[in-house]
Amino acid sequence: MPELVFFSGTMDCGKSTLALQIEHNRSARGLQGMIFTRDDRAGQGKLSSRLGLVTEAVEAGPGMDLYGHLVDQMSKGGKVDYVIVDEAQFLAPEQIDQLARVVDDLELDVFAFGITTDFRTKLFPGSQRLIELADRVETLQVEAMCWCGARATHNARTVGGEMVVEGEQVVVGDVNRPAGEVGYEVLCRRHHRKRMTSAAARAAALSPDVLPVTPA
């Protein structure tokens, strides 16, 4: 039976790499997939991984009817055997409903990839709807690591290396951005709560443990 599967995890845990692997494996068997993405780090209409792999995709912009797009392609003779959706957290809840309809009415497997929570630890609306509707939710087994070596469970937004907790939910960026730019870092819960990024940890390590005392 066709399924709607949501592969979730933090940033930097290999979601896009797995999406590309699924595409490779199925296309090698002669199957034809439709790939959707939204706000990929490589630009519009791209599905890319941090390993340097990239392929063409359809940009699923706001208001786009994903079910209607697939029906239109298939009615024109296009072959579609499965659907891959990367950065699914950025989709609107109604677009997730459309993906569920693709599974139920068109009988196609849909593999959606995304992070569940934003830099404030709040669920993305698209991810929440996927959790509500998906036949399966799979947590990726490749664990991203916090700077301290613990398992990273939270996504942090940084500006100049400092963690910020206010702002728009969606601001496109990536890990390992230069200082001064909007970037992201994965942290364990303890250091996310303390707003302790790797840059903040280095600064703290360079600070003296005890302030010098000047004799009276």
Which residues are designated catalytic?
Answer: 87
Q: Which of 137, 86, 150 is nearest to 113 (CA)?
A: 86
What's the rounded Cα separation, in Å, for the pair 11 and 155? 7
How far apart CA 128 and CA 118 sit, in angstroms, is 11
Name the E strands within the chain. Answer: 4-8, 33-37, 46-48, 54-56, 58-59, 82-85, 109-114, 136-139, 154-159, 162-164, 182-187
DSSP lists the bridge partners of residue 111 as 5, 84
- Cα distance from N-terminal residue to C-terminal residue, the chain: 81
State the Cα–Cα distance between residues 30 and 63, nearest whole angstrom.
Answer: 31
Yes or no: say if 115 and 7 are a contact pair by the CB < 8 Å rule. no
